Structure 1
Amino acid sequence: MRIETSVTRLLGIDLPILLAGMSWVTSNAALPLAVSRAGGLGVIAAGPMYPEALEEAIDTVRRGTDRPFAVNMPLYRKGAEEILDLLEAKRIPVLIASQGGPQKYLDRFKAIGTTCMHVVASEAHAVKAAQKGVDGLIVVGGEAGGHPPAELVSTLVLVRAVAKATQGKIPLVASGGFADGNGLAAALSLGAGAANFGTRFIATPEAGVSEGYKQAVIDAGVADTRTVGRGLGMIRTLSNDFAEEMAALELAAAPEERRRAVFSASTLKMAAFDGDLARGKLEAGQSAGLVGRLMPAGEIVAEIARDYAVCIGDLPQPAE
């Protein structure tokens, strides 16, 4: 199946389905490779990766498919310049940059033919990034796991606002709250050319996180996430002992020093790699409540595409 949109044309992919770059979850070759092979865009999350591991993952994906793939690069990470040098040397097909300005990378990567997409969480940032010359935007709404926008504006509203602000002049990817084909149809109806799927792909054999983390996502309901750490690098996480303690401190207006100590003592690695489901940061989006079972990543891509076709076929048509 092929679904042609502004984003599929930009990226050279068959389906407007992007794997969200998620630290640890997609910091490997297996999951991005499976998504790219299935016709979407697989994304390697460079955030927690050492240069040697990142290079190996890029090479493995390249050996496994001739389809496009991307690397997600948080520009604030330690050793960012070294990683950018590596990505430039590897001449990756697509760069997805977040948490920094396009001026840090744009000219050098466009000069080698890399498609450059930038993650934004507001209309103002979207317009600025578009004016800088990025090739596409990933618009993250409040439902998203990890680091949603501070204002928590829903994807439904934010993507539509960015589409209006950019006047259809740049391809958009909607991110936050998508788990199935109906969500993809909703994203495209807002003016996006694709949807970013993150939490859904945590529940896959290929995801690089602990089995307990995957099961926690499967077991979660739509109301089982919460945002904590406002002013400290706010995250959306599944409820656990860490999240409950943070929420209680915030409700009590505890001193920043106390809140920061608790927030910093917990890490995503604790949950993702060490399997500490009580005290680790179990980052996940509200769409966890739409995830019901573990499935291979390639099958998920195919299911999303099939369900999208059914969804749009079932939509009421205007009466004459």
Structure 2
Amino acid sequence: MLPVWTKLTKLLDVRTPVVLAPMGAVSNGELAIRVSQGGGYGFIGTDLNDPISFSKELDTARSRLGVVGPDAPLPLGVGYLGWLLDKGNRTQQLLNIALEKRVQSVWLSFGSNLGKWVEYVRQYDSQRTIEHKTLIWIVANSLEVASRAINEWKADVLVLQGCEAGGHGHSEALPLISLLGLVKSKFSNGPPLVAAGGIVNGAQIAGLLLMGADGTVMGTRFAATVESSYSPNQKRGLVEATKSIRTLVFDTINGPTQWPDGINARALRNKAIFDVEAGVDFEERKRLYHEAVKNDDTSRIAIWAGSSVGLVNDIPSTLNKNKDLVNQVHQELIDSLRDASGFLG
């Protein structure tokens, strides 16, 4: 299959500009490995990992991806929430493990001290006995954050997350098309720009590449795959859904949210939200929610989903002979780019 060459695919040495989002409780090592094996780029989400299992996941990835020698870069990435890193302890330990294992990329998002962690990674790399540069990906929801990521933090890759993205994002984020256009107009010679938010197929990717993106992040589409860590009920919920909404209900159900100011999340609308609208007492809502979690009852538990969830209509394997999702999306991208050329002449 033909490769698609962009600043991002050349930087990562991959054949398709499809990136797996590092979703907590979704993007496990198996999913990241399969996306990378398919020619895309996999990220592992870390917020629910313990150090021992995480270290084993990275060792497994090194073996499965055919990386020879412990000093060779591991061609995938790991995602970290800035506000969890600020709390130290386990999350910082997970970052140290990833750096020790020479992952190619680290994804940083949602924190008031991201610059501190950029410097932490740079310092770690500078002290290695064998040279290795970790690529730092920064998530930006606004032109202001994008400017800091490029000018101050010298991000290697900038992820532009629009309001369409499933899971957490800024409540005042622009639509992706507007955010991408704005940042592209200001930083045409900057790092690779990766578009995130509501992307589930190759046609959408083609449109974003034509607008100036160098790659795209897919979350919801990969959440509804055999390999994702979502439960079978959550995956069916994605397939049956037609839309999602932005809300703080699921974050506040356990008390005050620890996410930075302005952050909320996009999820499927369900009884947990209906309970708030009906004025159900908080303690009762909390009881009902935890009972639902125990029973994997998706009528109340959180199912994070982007704005294009209505276009997700199956639960394929990420990489197999019968229905290879990465190659399917890549072929849709190729076909769409060919179709676009037909408008000329």
Name the TM tier (shorter chain). 0.7 to 0.9
Letter in 2 for 1:19: L
CA distance, structure 2, for counterparts of residue 193 and residue 259 of structure 1: 45
Distance change (3 Å), C-alpha of 1:274 and 1:108: farther
Q: Deviations over 1:160-182 (max 9, x none)?
A: 11212222311110000111110
**Superposition TM-score, scaled by structure 1 size:** 0.88
Letter in 2 for 1:125: V
Matched, 1:228 2:268: no
Q: List runs of 5+ in structure 2 lacking aligned partners.
A: 68-73, 127-131, 258-262
Letter in 1 for 2:17: P
Q: Deviations over 1:14-70 (max 9, x none)?
A: 1100001111111x2211011000000011101111111211111111111047211
* Among 214, 221, 227, the residue aligned to 1:193: 214
Distance change (3 Å), C-alpha of 1:19 and 1:319: closer
Cα deviation for residue 319 of structure 1 reads 5.2
CA distance, structure 2, for counterparts of residue 133 and residue 264 of structure 1: 46
Are the aligned partners of 1:94 and 1:114 in contact in 2 as well (CA < 8 Å)?
A: yes
Q: Whose Rg is larger?
A: 2
* Among 176, 195, 211, the residue aligned to 1:155: 176
Cα deviation for residue 261 of structure 1 reads 9.3
Which stretch of structure 1 is more off in the superposition, 85-94 or 107-116?
107-116
Letter in 2 for 1:61: A
Match of 2:272 in 1: 242
Q: How many residues are paired up?
A: 308
Coordinate RMSD, CA, aligned: 2.6
Match of 1:10 in 2: 11
Letter in 2 for 1:126: A
Cα deviation for residue 262 of structure 1 reads 5.4
CA distance, structure 2, for counterparts of residue 274 and residue 194 of structure 1: 38
Letter in 2 for 1:68: P
Match of 2:224 in 1: 203
CA distance, structure 1, for counterparts of residue 311 and residue 124 of structure 2: 37
SS at match of 1:13: coil
CA distance, structure 1, for counterparts of residue 295 and residue 41 of structure 2: 28
Are the aligned partners of 2:142 and 2:173 in contact in 1 as well (CA < 8 Å)?
A: no
* Among 72, 77, 81, the residue aligned to 2:79: 72
Cα deviation for residue 245 of structure 1 reads 2.8
Match of 2:338 in 1: 313
CA distance, structure 2, for counterparts of residue 236 and residue 276 of structure 1: 19
Are the aligned partners of 2:202 and 2:336 in contact in 1 as well (CA < 8 Å)?
A: yes
Q: List runs of 5+ in structure 1 lacking aligned partners.
A: none
Cα deviation for residue 278 of structure 1 reads 2.1
Distance change (3 Å), C-alpha of 1:168 and 1:58: same
Letter in 2 for 1:130: I
CA distance, structure 1, for counterparts of residue 13 and residue 118 of structure 2: 22
* Among 86, 92, 104, the residue aligned to 2:117: 104
Q: How does 1:175-194 map to 2 (within 5 A)?
A: 175-194=196-215
CA distance, structure 2, for counterparts of residue 285 and residue 130 of structure 1: 26
**Superposition TM-score, scaled by structure 2 size:** 0.82
CA distance, structure 2, for counterparts of residue 263 and residue 227 of structure 1: 19
Are the aligned partners of 2:43 and 2:77 in contact in 1 as well (CA < 8 Å)?
A: yes
SS at match of 1:76: helix
SS at match of 2:14: coil
Are the aligned partners of 2:141 and 2:173 in contact in 1 as well (CA < 8 Å)?
A: no
Letter in 1 for 2:178: V
SS at match of 2:308: helix
Cα deviation for residue 316 of structure 1 reads 5.5
Match of 2:71 in 1: none
Distance change (3 Å), C-alpha of 1:7 and 1:319: closer
* Among 100, 119, 140, the residue aligned to 2:139: 119
Which stretch of structure 1 is more off in the superposition, 198-207 or 52-61?
52-61
SS at match of 1:147: strand
SS at match of 1:125: helix
Q: Deviations over 1:134-162 (max 9, x none)?
A: 10111111111101221142111111112
Are the aligned partners of 1:71 and 1:95 in contact in 2 as well (CA < 8 Å)?
A: yes
Match of 2:301 in 1: 280
SS at match of 2:83: coil
How high is the sequence identity, in percent, across the aligned residues?
26
Letter in 2 for 1:307: E
Which stretch of structure 1 is more off in the superposition, 71-80 or 212-221?
71-80
Are the aligned partners of 2:6 and 2:215 in contact in 1 as well (CA < 8 Å)?
A: yes
Distance change (3 Å), C-alpha of 1:45 and 1:319: closer
Distance change (3 Å), C-alpha of 1:109 and 1:219: farther
Match of 2:105 in 1: 94
